Structure formats: structure tokens, C-alpha cells
Amino acid sequence: MKKWISKRCNADFVKIASRYNVTEIFAEVLVKRGLYTWEAMDKYLFPDISRMYAPELMKGLVQASSLLEDSIKRGSKVRVIGDYDVDGVMSSYILVRGITMLGGNADYKIPHRVKDGYGIRSYMVDEAYNEGVDTIVTCDNGISAVDAALRANELGITYILTDHHEVPVENGVCVIPKADAVVDPKQPECNYPFAQLCGAAVAYKIISYIFEKQCNKNYIEELLPFVAIATVCDVVPLIDENRIIVANGLKMLSDRNIMKNIGMTALLNELKLRGKVSSSAIGFKIGPCINAAGRLSDASKGMELLLEEDESKAVRLAQELVMLNEERKNMTADAEAEADKQIAYIDVNKMPVLVLYLKNCHESVAGIVAGRVREKYYRPTYILTKTKNGLKGSGRSIPDYHMQSELMRCHDILTEFGGHAMAAGFSLPEENLEKFCVTLNRQCLLKPEEMIEKLSFDKEIKLSDISKELVMELKLLEPLGEANKRAVFAKRGVIVKSVYMCGKEKQVARLQVEDDGKVFNAVDFNAEKCIGSAVCTHYGEETWEAMKNGQCGQSIDILYIPCFNEMYGNIEFRIIDCR
């Protein structure tokens, strides 16, 4: 059972409500988003582009921009080298398109997930040199590629490194590649006010600096929507400057008078996103299609789509990406089902770390499957697949388990590994699999209470206190995403009056619940595992079956999100957990 945690804070909610003409409940929600000053609240509620930070505050950016400008003026060939995920593709597009708009000559190279692996390699520098490239610009990678930077220096290639990842540290010292310019807000002595930008945002900052020097703002509507897509998909926190980027980028992406990119328009049409585009649409529809190319084919297909100027070709490319994503979904579902079969033979309570070998799982979806299993069982999860060079794996973690540190402690049985606290990638010889599993579980220091998922809620509120005014105000929290979740409320002791199971697989429960003497409509989209699990725990499986047949009246506690039912225009309560 999940642990519910109430956020606590002290503030003058009456004063806040008066200043912004909102309800006191919403004022409390704002404070619980970490907004403790008028300046922070203003920036959150009014995320205007003018509030973005000056690019020149980022260490190395002026130097990088100057070098890039010189290459453009000379007519030199510039090669952008990105990454195979959404952030890498969007970063590459922003640089290539921006350089082209500035009159430059740019092409791109996106590494192949399987053939090349992550990031720029020395042989890519050699390729660029042999093809007459004068300047290389990395994006969303490069901060750990020391050898590639050295090779560029040996060949006399201007090497501009742009990234947003943590700087590698050896023996307590940061190791930064010897590039002609390094732009990464996480490097030491960088005084940029907000270091949590994605790679595309760093690339955008460089291009914006050059355009602003020319008093030309055409780049904003042309490029900002793609920064927004990358920001959502790279799961960086949607706070501060990232919130400004996404809030404004979504508006431009949603307005067909502004969104002139033929390829993106084709993809939006193919996904039937013809109205307002939300952050969830990016995260669950647009992003996965771009990612699918890098997982199952070649990430360059995403770039081809964004650079395509022929409508009929763009439509075909968009259809191909959507089909690849459907294939990816099927592969993921099959692998997830196989993972569940293996876990059925494991006592999860005695296994703090899940290590699963899925021989037939495509290596490109291992990370997705690891994330799904982690969510389902709330355990650090490693999914391994078979490759021609042994086993390759991806891991996804929970907050109290630092995945990279744990891999470091068993580095002697691994071929290679890398990552951070919440995710990692690694490889090892197949004969080391059993030792790997035993070692990870033996050295795991997770306590039982740390393996219980925690759900935070903003406030306990009677359902009758949720007004249409408040539901409208809650829309001001958008765009939603990492570190900026929906407002969640709690109510103890609601009475279930009726349960109607619906949906393709009868997985949705439409409910009527009574609270404070009034009856309200509610919905549970994962009924068997949410309300069903809670009822079975407290009343027994027979009671849950009886409730589905009309025998209701049970009392439950709920966590819920209030929203409008678009069809009927009334408030309904989306239940996200029960006990």
C-alpha cells in the first residue's frame, strides 16, 4: 500500500488570494509549489518570454557564438553532431535550422543507437574532416567525450561543445574536454541562473544570442516550439525558465498560423492533434514517435521530417514514424508481459532489486520496460537483453537508491556502465549475470519503508468545496510535467454509492460517491489496481465483486484530481489512489 504524504506550509493565503484574485485553496496550492515570494509567483503565473535569462550569462556562450558566427561568415561547412533521443534530434534541428537562417552552411550527424552508441566519437571527427567540415558543434552530448575533442584539435577543426549533462569528475577534479568553446550550464564557475536546461535549450541560447545581436527576432517562433518539445521529453523540471519555454512553445506549436514547419505539421495531423497541444500530448504522442525512429530504425528520420519542405514527403515520413511507434508499443508490451511472468516466480518482498534477463527484448526498449516494472513493483529494476557482444542492460530506480553508485560497487563484473541516480545503462558478459543479480541484492541497503511508494497531496478537502472556479484556476498550473505536477487532494470516508465498470477491458470504474451528504461523479481509470485493490485489502475480494454487481455502501479514503467532464460540462473527480 502506498504512503500518503501531506505537504505542509505556512503563508497568508488570504493575502495571496486577494493579490491574484483567486481562491484561498488555489493560493495554498501555489505556495506548495515552492513559490514563496511575489517574484516567484509572478514568474510562475505569468511566464512571459521577456522573463528568460540573458544567454551571455552562460559560461562560454559568447565565445561559442563568436566562433560560429565566424564560420557562417566564411561560408565554412559546419557539422552538428547530436544524439538519438528527442532532445538530441531537437537540438540538432535548432542548430541546423538556425545556422541556415543566418546564412550558414550546416549538415548533421546523429549517432546510431546500436552501431555508434551515445555521443560523439573520434571516428566521427575523422569523417567530418574527410568531408571538408571546418567546424563541429555538439549538442546534447560531448561533455564526456575527451578523445573526440583532442582529435578535432589535432585535425585543426573548430570544435564547439554544447551540452547540459553533468561534467565528469575524476579524483575530485572536473574533466572538461579541450574544445574551442564549451557551453554547459553545469560546468564549474558557470553563473547562469538556471542550470536545469535541456540540450535543445542550450543550443537555442547560442542561436538566440546571434540573432539578438542583429535585432532579429524571427528565430523565436521558428525555433522555440522545438525547445519546448525537447524540454518536456527530456524530463527536466518544468520550473523557472523551463516553464517559460514550454508555456510559450506550446502556444506556438498549437497555432497553425505560427507553426510553419511542414514536417511537424504533418506529424501533428497524423496524430490528430489539431487543436491545443498540451505537455502530455508532447510526452505521450509526439515525443515517442520521434524517439521510435532512434529506437527501432535511425534517429535521422526525425531530422529528415523536420527539415522536409515537400508536404507529400513529410506526410509519408510522419506516417512512418507513427508506425514505428506502434511497433515499439507492441514490442514493449510483449517484453513487459515476459517480465511479469518472471516476477511471478520471485518473492518481491525478499528481492529489493529486480534483475530480469529478457532474451528476446529489443535492447532499445529495455529502458522503457525497466521503468514500467519499477512503477508496478516500486523496486530498482534492471532489464538485460542479449546482444552479439554479451548482455546489455538498462536500469530505472526509486528515490532512495542511487543506481550509478550501486553499479560502481560491482564494476569488476561489468564491461562498461554509466548513468546517474535514477537511471543507468551497462553491459556485462553473460556468465556474470547470476553474480550481478546476487551482488546488487546483497549490497542493497534499502530499508522496508524506503520501498513503499509515497504519494503527495496538497490538502484534504471536502468534495463539495471544489468549485468550478477552483477547477478553472488549477489550469493555471499548466504546463504540467517534472517537478510541476497536478494538484492532488484527499478526502477520507467517502461512501461508494455505485460502481459501473466500462472501457475496452473493463478497466475503468465510473462511480457515484457520497461525501458530506451529497453525491458526486468520480472515475477510476485503473479500477482493479486502485479502488479494487483497496476494497479487497479492507473488505475482501468478495466485497469488491459484490460492489461491481450493485452491492455498495462501503467507506473508502481517496486521493483525487478535480476536473471538468468535457462531454457534460460538470465537475468529476478522477481517483488516483484509494485506501
Band of residue 440 on the pLDDT scale cut at 50, 70, 90 = very high
Q: Which of 166, 218, 233, 224 is nearest to 195 (CA)?
A: 166
Band of residue 571 on the pLDDT scale cut at 50, 70, 90 = very high
| Contact between residue 21 and residue 471 where contact means Cβ atoms under 8 Å apart | no
**What is the 3-state composition of the chain as percent helix, strand, coil, each rounded to the nearest 5?**
45, 20, 35
Percent of residues, the chain, with pLDDT higher than 90: 91
Rounded Cα distance between 356 and 42, Å, is 47
Tracing cell 560523439 back to the chain, one arrives at 120
Q: What is the pLDDT of residue 333?
A: 96
Question: HEC profile for 345-363?
Answer: CCCHHHCCCEEEECCCCCH
Residues 6+ apart with CB under 8 A from 28: 9, 11, 13, 458, 459
Q: What is the pLDDT of residue 528?
A: 94
Q: What are 268-278's pLDDT values in tens digits? A: 999 999 889 99
**Dihedral sign (CA 18, 20, 22, 23):** negative
Is the pLDDT score of 567 beyond 80? no
Rounded Cα distance between 365 and 369, Å, is 6
| Contact between residue 544 and residue 537 where contact means Cβ atoms under 8 Å apart | no
| In the chain, domain spans | 55-221, 346-451, 456-578
Rounded Cα distance between 425 and 393, Å, is 6
Q: What is the value of pTM for the model shown?
A: 0.94
Tracing cell 520501498 back to the chain, one arrives at 451
Please give the CATH architecture assigned to the domain spanning 346-451. Answer: Roll (3.10)
Q: What are 510-545's pLDDT values in tens digits? A: 999 999 999 999 999 999 999 999 999 999 999 999
**Which range has the worst mean pLDDT, 55-69, 211-225, 562-576?**
562-576
Q: What is the pLDDT of residue 168?
A: 87
45 phi and psi, to 5 degrees? -80, -25
Omega within 30 of 0 (cis) for the link into 479: yes
Q: What is the pLDDT of residue 117?
A: 85
Residue 450 DSSP SS3: helix
Tracing cell 560497487 back to the chain, one arrives at 409
Residue 574 DSSP SS3: strand
Q: What is the pLDDT of residue 553?
A: 96
Q: Which residues pair with 158 in a beta bridge?
A: 135
DSSP 274: -
| Contact between residue 398 and residue 423 where contact means Cβ atoms under 8 Å apart | no
Question: Looking at this protein, which amino acid is placed at residue 490?
Answer: A
Q: What are 141-187's pLDDT values in tens digits? A: 999 999 999 999 999 999 999 999 989 888 889 999 999 999 999 99
**Dihedral sign (CA 312, 317, 321, 324):** positive
Q: Residue 457 — left, alpha, or beta (φ > 0 → left; ψ -120 to 50 → alpha)?
A: beta
38 phi and psi, to 5 degrees? -60, -40
Q: What are 218-259's pLDDT values in tens digits? A: 999 999 999 999 999 999 999 999 999 999 999 999 999 999
The whole-angstrom distance between residue 573's C-alpha and the CA centroid of its chain comes to: 26
Pick the CATH number of 55-221 from 3.40.640.10, 1.10.150.120, 3.80.10.10, 3.90.1640.30: 3.90.1640.30
Q: What are 15-26's pLDDT values in tens digits? A: 999 999 999 999
How many other CB atoms are found less than 10 A from the CB of residue 477?
A: 18
**Dihedral sign (CA 532, 536, 537, 539):** positive
Tracing cell 564549474 back to the chain, one arrives at 188
Q: What is the layout of strands, in order, in the sheet containing 416-419?
A: 354-357, 381-387, 390-396, 423-428, 416-419
485 phi and psi, to 5 degrees? -85, 170
Q: What is the pLDDT of residue 421?
A: 86
CA dihedral 45, 49, 51, 54 (to 10 degrees): 160
Report the interhelical angle of 262-270 vs 300-307 (nearest 10°): 110
Tracing cell 461491481 back to the chain, one arrives at 548
Q: What are 117-148's pLDDT values in tens digits? A: 889 999 999 999 999 999 999 999 999 999 99
Report the interhelical angle of 287-296 vs 86-101 (nearest 10°): 100
Tracing cell 508555456 back to the chain, one arrives at 247
Q: What is the pLDDT of residue 388?
A: 86
Overall fold of domain 456-578: OB fold (Dihydrolipoamide Acetyltransferase, E2P) (2.40.50)
Q: What is the pLDDT of residue 568?
A: 74
Q: What is the pLDDT of residue 206?
A: 98
The C-alpha cell at 311 is 508536404
